[in-house]
Amino acid sequence: MAETAASLSKPGEGDQRPRHVAIIMDGNGRWAKNRGWPRLVGHRRGAERVKQIVRACPDLGVNWLTVYAFSTENWKRSTEEVLGLMGIFARYIEREADGLSTEGVRMRFIGGRERLEPKLQRLMEGIESRTARNNRLNLTVAINYGGRDELARAANRLAARIARGDIAEPTEADLADCLDTAGHPDPDLVIRTSGETRTSNFLPFQAAYSEYEFTQTLWPDFTPDHLAEILDRYGLRERRFGSV
């Protein structure tokens, strides 16, 4: 593509831009397999792609980016692949901490942390604390995340608040406040790469009114230009939210 991401899609007066984009980053393993390489090579390339998309988002008018890095179901993969992925997550945090801080990115994580290695948990907590004051881009990474698991944990939190007498008649907003994403805006747009057309247990509560885009592009090939084109198409959609 001759155009740059910035030239293809820049926020302007009157533009309809998604404030919050969520991405199901799919296709790393197939990308590597197509080239005769180990699946972990694809995951490493996918991590590099995350860096590029993160850097592109502010110029494209995106203030919140949530990416699906590891699901609760991904533990079923081989021990080698799971350990390799956890190592990639740890290295990403260690290597990108300075850059994220400098570029004004706030990084947070959603999902159950108790199953993750203590070292990785410490790295996650450290970068969350270090970037807490940043606001140029809010980056949320879903690790050991599953929407149904999140809802179950949220229901337990809500039940505890009711038992304490903090809440008399729970509402939808009360449940939202118990989710991992409490305080985050709902995603306006959810993108899934690799040609799959299912949501895979990703943000089922939060994405109830999101627009969806499914692209054939495998995640390691998904460039800022691809994102810009999708944002342009999003701008042509009419979102009614039940109205006429």
Nearest-angstrom CA–CA distance, 46 and 27: 9
Q: Is 122 annotated as a binding residue?
A: no
Angle between helices 224-234 and 39-56 (to 10 degrees): 60
In sequence order, the 6+-apart residues with CB closer than 8 A to the CB of 113 are 121, 124, 143, 144
Q: Is 95 annotated as a binding residue?
A: no
Helix (H) or strand (E) holding 202: none
Residue 194 known to bind ligand: no
Query: Which candidate, 36, 92, 52, places its Cα nearest to that of 69?
Result: 92
Residue 26 designated active-site: yes
Give the C-alpha separation, 67 to 44, whole Å. Answer: 15
The pairing of beta strand 137-145 with beta strand 64-71: parallel
The reply, when asked if residue 153 is annotated as ligand binding, is no
- Catalytic pick from 74, 174, 221, 232? 74
The annotation status of 30 as a binding-site residue, yes or no, is yes
200 is in an annotated binding site: yes
Token digits of residue 195: 């040609």
From 26, 180, 188, 225, active-site residue: 26
- Decide if 156 is catalytic: no
Task: Determine whether the annotation assigns residue 72 to a binding site.
Answer: yes
Residue 240 assigned as binding residue: no
Annotated ligand binding at 31? The verdict is yes
Separation CA 223–CA 200 (nearest Å): 22
Residue 199 annotated as binding site: yes
The answer to whether 213 touches 238, Cβ cutoff 8 Å, is no
Is 71 assigned to a binding site? yes
Contact yes or no for 104/54 (Cβ under 8 A): no
Q: Residue 37, annotated ligand binder?
A: no
For residues 244 and 230, give the distance between their C-alpha atoms in angstroms, rounded to a whole number.
Answer: 25
Closest CA to 20 of 78, 63, 67: 63
Q: Is 73 annotated as a binding residue?
A: yes
Ligand-binding annotation for 26, yes or no, is yes
Residues marked as binding? 26-31, 39, 43, 71-73, 75, 77, 192, 198-200, 211
Residues marked as binding for substrate? 27-31, 39, 43, 71-73, 75, 77, 192, 198-200
Catalytic sites, residue numbers: 26, 74
Residues marked as binding for Mg(2+)? 26, 211
